[in-house]
Amino acid sequence: MSTIAESASGKTPLGSALEAGVNTLSITQTLTFELYERKVSPIDGMAYWVNAQLLRALKGTYNTEDYNTSPYNQGTYENPAVPLSIQVQGSLHYSTKMHQLEDRTTAYNHIIFTSLSFIQAFNSINPQQMYICSYPSEKGIQKFGFSERMPFYQQAGLWHYRGDSLYAVMSTQIIESLSDFDLATQTVSNSLPIWLSLDVPFNIYPSYLVPQNQIPPFIVVHIEPNQTIALGQIPLILKDSSSWQLTRDTVRISFFGLNNNQAIDFMNYVFQYTLDTELFGLMNMPIIQDHKVTQPEYNVIAKKKEAIFEINYYQNRIQSISRQLILEAFCSVTPIDTPT
């Protein structure tokens, strides 16, 4: 039995006082959170969050599921039937700090939202879904989500959620309209699409885009950005404006949950793949290395291995305007009398 004295409302005396304070400060503020669903391009693994209302409107008229297929997402999950939007009462506090970087100047808005109740909807969704709030401020509409629930003190009866508003450079990944992006063209310029297309019995993910709490076995591909290097002096440019540039990548493959035999089978498959397809060539002799990922609470290490590939391939840009014109062209035929 709880030893905390509670009032008829279910709040402790401290909780009731804090609730009154939150309502006074926020003027009984209510925020609206809209549901977004994660969609991943099958071409290069780029992840987008699409407004669920948009997806519902397109259902049956546009096959958006093409961009949410396993292994690029957790295909075994089925999105639960959760509300498209929720109303949450609480108090919003944010602070702003300017960062001047080499390639951009960004205002980081740090958000703390204090809720008067536990937001059950945040726990009802799976990793393919997320609630995002659009909040009007003096700087315009800010979108924010949460990456952390701060320490909870039961007697206080308040729940604190913390995160950052959407960075300007990330705005292309939050989709409100299909006109905002093109899923038919790859985004990355390195060899990642080749690796994602490998036909292996394990999910392959781009680095930094592994789904939340993914359970092994799976493989992660990381391509060092500063190690994508030209091997030819200039690209070969064809008369249709297509270009082909001989390029080198340094690729780190991380294996989670694979035993020695499974890792060796993958390596041998890649070696044979280079001979069968000639999509890329090997410039080194990769070797499997064991790595240590620990969790001290259980005194165990994860099954993690790595291998470094140095490969060469053609970084190309295919000019397909003429093909698109042919696909979109149509003609009408009007029968006439054949001259005698």
What pLDDT, on a 0 to 100 scale, did the predictor assign at position 42?
A: 77
Please tell me the predicted confidence (pLDDT) of residue 73.
42
Give me the residue label for tokens 């994660």: 38
Q: How high is the pLDDT of residue 296?
A: 92
Residue 78 has pLDDT above 60, yes or no: no
Once rounded to an integer, what is the mean pLDDT over residues 58-85?
53
Burial class (CB in 10 A: 0-12, 13-18, 19+), 148: exposed
Distances (CA, A) of 307 to 33, 85, 107, 218: 42, 44, 38, 14
Strands (E), 165-264: 174-175, 203-206, 218-223, 229-230, 236-237, 243-256
Strand partners, 94: 111
Contacts of 302 (CB under 8 A, 6+ apart): 216, 256, 293, 294, 295
Spans of all domains in the chain? 13-180, 192-323
What is the identity of the amino acid at 81?
A: A
The dihedrals phi and psi of 86, each to the nearest 5 degrees, come to -135, 150
Per DSSP, the residues of 246-282 read EEEEEEEEEEES--HHHHHHHHHHHHHHHHHH-S-EE
Separation CA 178–CA 324 (nearest Å) = 19
CA–CA dist 313, 192 (Å, integer): 11
Evaluate if residue 101 carries a pLDDT over 70.
Answer: yes
Q: Compute the distance between CA of residue 249 and CA of residue 308 in angstroms, rounded to an integer.
A: 10
Percent of the chain with pLDDT over 90: 29
Q: Is the model more confident about 159 or about 286? A: 286
pLDDT of residue 234: 84
pLDDT tens-digit map of 124-149: 777 788 888 888 776 678 888 887 77
Distance CA 254, CA 204 (A): 10
**What is the per-residue pLDDT for 280?**
93
Q: What is the pLDDT of residue 63?
A: 43
Q: State the Cα–Cα distance between residues 94 and 103, nearest whole angstrom.
A: 25
Q: For the full predicted model, state whether its pTM sits above 0.85.
A: no
Tens digit of pLDDT for each residue in 178-222? 777 666 677 888 999 899 989 999 999 999 988 888 899 999 999
pLDDT at 64 > cutoff 50: no
Determine the pLDDT at residue 97.
Answer: 83
Contacts of 146-154 with C-beta under 8 Å, sequence gap 24+, read 146/111, 146/113, 146/122, 150/112, 154/4
Q: Residue 247: pLDDT above 50?
A: yes
User: What is the DSSP code string of 14-26?
Assistant: HHHHHHHHHHHHH
**Residue 241 clears pLDDT 60, i.e. is over it:** yes
